[in-house]
Amino acid sequence: MEERESKDILLIVRYFDLDLSEEEMVEFDKRIAQEPAFRHKVKKYSKSKNLVNQSFKNKKQERRINKWKELISDKQSPSKSYQTLKWIKGIAAILIVLISTWYYIHQTTYVNLEKLTDYAWEKKVGFDNYLVRNNNTETSKKIILEAYKSFEKEEYDLTISMLKKYNSSLLYYEDALLIRALSNHKTGRTTIALQTLDSLINLPSKRLHKEALWYKGLIYLDIKDLETAKKYLEIPNDKNSEIQLKEALN
């Protein structure tokens, strides 16, 4: 059990270090989709990694640790050790207050961003009334409408299956790619989702170009990659504002 846990941790670390091969990435996405416990580990590591990176961006922490080791060394005299212990307790008390305050602010910001992200997803950009309510009897349009209904019911694997062989020569091919990409993301196949959105972005028609950029940004927010998300989206500081597509990409 412990051996498997260690292997999982190593695998997750390598994933965030972009060190997995293509075959390993496929297997990684499969495990995220099929194993809730593993998916929880990935999310937990992602949050922990972000906290550490934001809190300690240089070697100051390492120097502090070494200094503390020196201060609590057994080689000190009893009187000096007592004074040092008092000093450490004072510093520790201050650190607890500072860390608690920082953590509270960080969590508040995180929750607000999470709510903004949820709201952005709820806007259903790209799925306008013409797509949802159109009663067009054309076969290709019917397939897209049925796939969208399946997507709305959160039957993501069924949706992917319905659109798997949707031909690029058919009308509404862009819609098929968009729905398939989002279905893959919802099932944990985020790498495939991003690749599909890239295909949509590079189509000559450019019909859903902006929508694909929008969802790439939201997916990066979902996986807590804020820096990459900012390449596509304007992230407001004010919690009452909305996430928007970057003007430079419009």
pLDDT digit string, tens, across residues 204-244 = 999 999 999 999 999 999 998 989 999 999 988 765 678 88
The letter for the amino acid at 231 is K
Measuring CA to CA, how many Å separate 135 from each of 90, 142, 146, 162, 172? 72, 8, 12, 19, 15
Question: pLDDT confidence of 80, banded at 50, 70, 90?
Answer: low
Residue of 82 and 126 predicted with greater confidence? 126
Residue 166: other Cβ atoms inside 10 A: 19
Residue bearing the bigger pLDDT, 47 or 51: 47
What is the rounded average pLDDT of the residues 75-103?
A: 55
* pLDDT, tens digit, 9 for 90 and up, residues 15-26: 777 677 878 888
What radius of gyration, in Å, describes the C-alpha atoms of the chain?
24
0.85 exceeded by pTM? no
pLDDT in tens, 144-180: 889 999 999 999 999 999 998 898 888 889 999 999 9
Average pLDDT for the chain: 77
Average pLDDT over residues 48-56: 53
Long-range own/partner contacts, residues 179-185 (CB < 8 A, 24 or more apart)? 179/144, 179/147, 179/148, 179/151, 181/212, 181/215, 182/151, 182/215, 183/151, 183/156, 183/157, 183/159, 184/156, 184/160, 185/219, 185/222
